Amino acid sequence: MVFSGTNSRYLAEKICASLNCPLGNMNITHFADGEFAVSYEESIRGAHVFLVQSTFPNSDNLMELLLMIDAAKRASAKSVVAVIPYFGWARQDRKDKPRVSIGAKLVADLLSVAGIDRLITMDLHADQIQGFFNIPVDHLYASAVFLPYIQSLQLENLVIATPDVGGSKRASTFSKYLGVPLVLCNKSREKANEVASMQIIGDVEGKNVVLIDDIVDTAGSLCEGAKALMEYGAAGVYAAVCHPVLTNPATERIKESVLKELVVTNSLPIEKEKMQDKLTVLSVAPLLGEAILRIFHDASVSALFDK
């Protein structure tokens, strides 16, 4: 049985369509002070329950998911699997300076204490976040939808690039599969969401470059990386990014940037006013649906990505 939180319903409906099953009926009651309560409107006793909800801002989405998990456990569900396409707070994955929180670990603890039996997520900001859980984690990759699309563009002299050194492993997977060179963009920051400088490591002159990343937030790194690549002689710059957070001023930056196309997934809802000609949205609903089906039938999930 598949259920959805409020703001991920658009994706849950597509997942259910791919599974040819109905979306479960649940009710979320809101109180005047902002508090809310969750209830299932049908029996889930003994059922394998899959809860679709990304934990993007605001934090109500995470709280809603925690209440959904708690309600499912108290309603005697046989198993509760959280399907979190976008795992929020993942950029806080380590103690990189004194006296800071590790948000990703805290969210992992909250989900575990609430009572999930398994987690399905996609393109985590850092792979090691899987180790924050003591339950099975199925980590899916948007490369399953990005690679066929990149191939369909039939770009000549293709090069794969990453906007920062931290994303080199992700970009390397694309370059190896496509059999093309890998280029690194080395950025330095003075503060969060603000790029101070960008250097290119590798040859991009006369090449069509595809930037690979997991999150596009304010689009500062992405647009600065694209600009630097063009200054180094690239013929054209495209980007493939899994999670379209698109916080202001991302939309304007992308529109005014040298990017020819930004390809994202529907792991997060995109407001109509943020849609534009440069933005292409690919659906990950069939991929998530297939993962749910394989977990339900105790089949291999990693086989989805074995080449």
**143-182, pLDDT tens digit by residue?**
999 999 999 999 999 999 998 877 888 999 999 999 999 9
Of 88, 94, 95, 125, the closest CA to residue 7 belongs to 88
- pLDDT of 255 higher than 90: yes
Cα three-residue angle 306-15-177, rounded to 5 degrees: 25
Mean pLDDT score of the chain, rounded to an integer?
93
Handedness of CA 159, 164, 167, 168 (dihedral sign): positive
38 Cβ neighbours under 8 A, 6+ residues apart? 26, 27, 28, 29, 64, 67, 68, 70, 71
The DSSP 8-state label assigned to residue 58 in this structure reads S
- pLDDT of 188 higher than 80: no
Question: CA-to-CA distance for 272 and 266, rounded, in angstroms?
Answer: 13
Treating both helix axes as pointing N-terminal to C-terminal, what angle do 285-296 and 9-19 enclose, rounded to 10 degrees?
60
How high is the pLDDT of residue 192?
A: 58
- pLDDT of 109 higher than 60: yes
Asked if 85 and 11 touch (Cβ cutoff 8 Å), the reply is yes
Could you tell me which residue, 206 or 307, shows the higher pLDDT?
A: 206
How high is the pLDDT of residue 107?
A: 96
Q: Is 152 exposed, middle or buried, given 0-12, 13-18 or 19+ CB atoms closer than 10 A?
A: exposed
263-284 pLDDT, tens per residue? Answer: 999 999 999 889 989 999 999 9
How high is the pLDDT of residue 186?
A: 79
How high is the pLDDT of residue 199?
A: 82
Identify the band that residue 185 occupies on the pLDDT scale cut at 50, 70 and 90.
Answer: confident
- pLDDT of 128 higher than 60: yes
The separation between the first and the last C-alpha atoms of the chain, rounded to the nearest angstrom, is 30
How high is the pLDDT of residue 165?
A: 78
Three-class SS string for 199-234? EEECCCCCCEEEEEEEEECCCHHHHHHHHHHHHCCC
Which residues are identified as catalytic?
187
